Structure 1
Amino acid sequence: MNKEKEPKPNNISMQGLRVQPYIHPNGTLQQLPQIIIIGVRKGGTRALIEMLSLHSAVAAAQNEVHFFDWESHFQRGLPWYLSQMPYSFPEQLTVEKTPAYFTSSKVPKRIHRMNPDIKLLLILRDPTERVLSDYTQVFYNRLQKHKHYQPIESLLVKDGEINLGYKALNRSLYYRHMQNWLQFFPLESIHVVDGDELIRDPLPEMKKVERFLKLEPQINTSNFYFNKTKGFYCLRDHGRERCLHDSKGRAHPHVAPAVLHKLHLFFHEPNKKFFELVGRTFNWK
């Protein structure tokens, strides 16, 4: 990071409440995040925060905090939110990720009240692929708990038409949720990461993230290696290698071609609206 832009210890206020951080004897402290990965669910948020953590100027919260979308957490206030953050040095940037933020209508206003200058990262995938990943996660969760699950076609289609009551479809209507965020934040404060490209070739996407966050270029080709067994890139950090959890990259269920075609047609117009909102296009079907 450029020295002249190093952030001061973060004691942002909300509704007049000032949060004073406890400074550890080694000089580290917990800071409210200057970066939040706001979504989207099954878009690649875990991969993004793991890759961003490769940068020495970034300290990442380990768990999804759900402060701004869960009332039980939000009512605890900023001191509780601060307590969920990692210890970091004053010059480091703190990041948390909660994918549910993007689709929660109340979250943009709440984050804006905490810090209107915060940097937001939004990682998206082809909306059809995201729906299938969403279903796959729920399917495996129910399978592990020996619970009943519905075939994906019965959820996607009802009476021969796309089932608008299926929540996973709503999460992929990106333009609706983006409109809500743009009521509170300028587009310049939100960087959209191409989740499909991050899977295929992570380095170019991470270089864009570094530039958006005004971080010194640090993440490079030596930080990634392709794991042929898993079929995707894993990370290498100071000689230590790690891959994402086995739950990532699961095979999607087979979907009848006619149903897939319906999905692609359904998302065509919503995708166009999203492209217009953000001023760029993505290689979605």
Structure 2
Amino acid sequence: MAGLLGSLLLLVLQTFAAPPDFVPAGDLDPEGLQWANGTAGPSLAPPPGTSQRVPHSIIIGVRKGGTRALLEMLDIHPSVAAAATEVHFFDWDENYSRGFDWYRGLMPYSYPHQITVEKTPGYFTSAQAPERIRAMNASIKLLLILRDPAERVVSDYTQVYFNRLEARKPVRPIEDLLVRGGALNTRYKAIQRSLYHLHMRNWLRYFPLEQIHLVDGDTLVRDPLPELRRVERFLELPPRIAASNFYFNQTKGFYCIRSDGRERCLHESKGRPHPPVNGTVLRQLRAYFRPHNRSFYRMVGRTFHWH
């Protein structure tokens, strides 16, 4: 009798167990796989009816402008399938030389009603990326998220600062990088990245302005929903992102995401406190950007509330 009961129990377990190639979405490793939106990771069989497609939209930048927050928030939408990692296909020659089939193979599996979105902030400052993206799809919709250029410089430095600390490498005060010979070091790479009008001019050589939607990164942090609704309209998505998808995390000091009965915040590397910057140097930096910002405003026909 005991043997018969044991055999029956084994039969029940085999009948109701999940297939060996299926892993519940909540158990996926977020570094290697993706959330449950019709996507699959490298070790999973793709859901029936899905395929990997090149992006319908790309978040092209800017570095330290809020690209990860924008992608994670867009990923709430049931019609969006987001790539898990920065691909660096159009800005790195060694990746671009691998071809579009290689690129497509890095995209998430998506259903026909979904659009695929990837983000690589290095695209915005890349000289080659606009022409290469146009060669793939001249009508693609591009998303560019921007923030106060002076704050972006400090945030850029902060990321490098913490990366060097974690790697046990020496770090330099930000003032040593911002100032050379008593004057602002305008050759500092972080400053060059914040000259938005210079990079935007290159993109407008290949794409009309109406194909590039500007997202206000400073506003997205303070009040994400209005910015995301504008993105939904630009991408021609049905309005599905709601206020209930966000809650303010007092500890972290920014909005986190609530969807599918789960809550998640951006990685701890996001939203790190900036180091104090010498007031005189910061004023020099803001004064330097002022005419460059005005040039950008004229170029895009829009004003941002940057200092």
Q: Same fold (TM over 0.5)?
A: yes
Which residue in the other structure is 2:257 paired with?
235
Which residue, 71, 79, 101 being the options, matches 1:57?
79
How many residues are matched? 263
Which residue, 53, 61, 68 being the options, matches 2:90?
68
Equivalences for residues 1-285 of structure 1 within 5 A: 26-285=48-307
Instruction: Give how far 1:90 is off.
Output: 1.2
The whole-number CA distance in structure 1 between the counterparts of 2:263 and 2:46 is: 29
Instruction: Give how far 1:164 is off.
Output: 1.6
The whole-number CA distance in structure 1 between the counterparts of 2:46 and 2:271 is: 39
Distance 1:76 1:228, change over 3 A: same
- Counting aligned pairs with the same residue, the percent is 63
Instruction: Give how far 1:24 is off.
Output: 5.4
Q: State the AA in 2 paired with 1:197.
A: T
Q: Which moved more, 1:161-170 or 1:180-189?
A: 161-170
Normalised by the size of structure 1, how large is the TM-score?
0.91
- Describe the SS at the equivalent of 2:298: helix
What runs of 5+ residues in structure 2 fail to find an aligned partner?
A: 1-44
Q: State the AA in 1 paired with 2:305.
A: N
Q: State the AA in 1 paired with 2:284.
A: K
Q: Which structure's relative contact order is higher, taking Cα pairs within 8 Å and 6+ residues apart?
A: 1
The whole-number CA distance in structure 2 between the counterparts of 1:268 and 1:160 is: 20
The whole-number CA distance in structure 2 between the counterparts of 1:140 and 1:34 is: 34
The whole-number CA distance in structure 1 between the counterparts of 2:148 and 2:170 is: 28
Normalised by the size of structure 2, how large is the TM-score?
0.85
The whole-number CA distance in structure 1 between the counterparts of 2:246 and 2:116 is: 22
Computing the radius of gyration from Cα coordinates, the structure with the larger value is 2
- Describe the SS at the equivalent of 2:113: coil
Q: State the AA in 2 paired with 1:227.
A: N
The whole-number CA distance in structure 2 between the counterparts of 1:52 and 1:178 is: 23
The whole-number CA distance in structure 2 between the counterparts of 1:25 and 1:201 is: 35
The whole-number CA distance in structure 1 between the counterparts of 2:109 and 2:101 is: 14
The whole-number CA distance in structure 1 between the counterparts of 2:99 and 2:216 is: 33
Q: State the AA in 1 paired with 2:110.
A: S
The whole-number CA distance in structure 1 between the counterparts of 2:175 and 2:169 is: 18
- Describe the SS at the equivalent of 1:216: coil
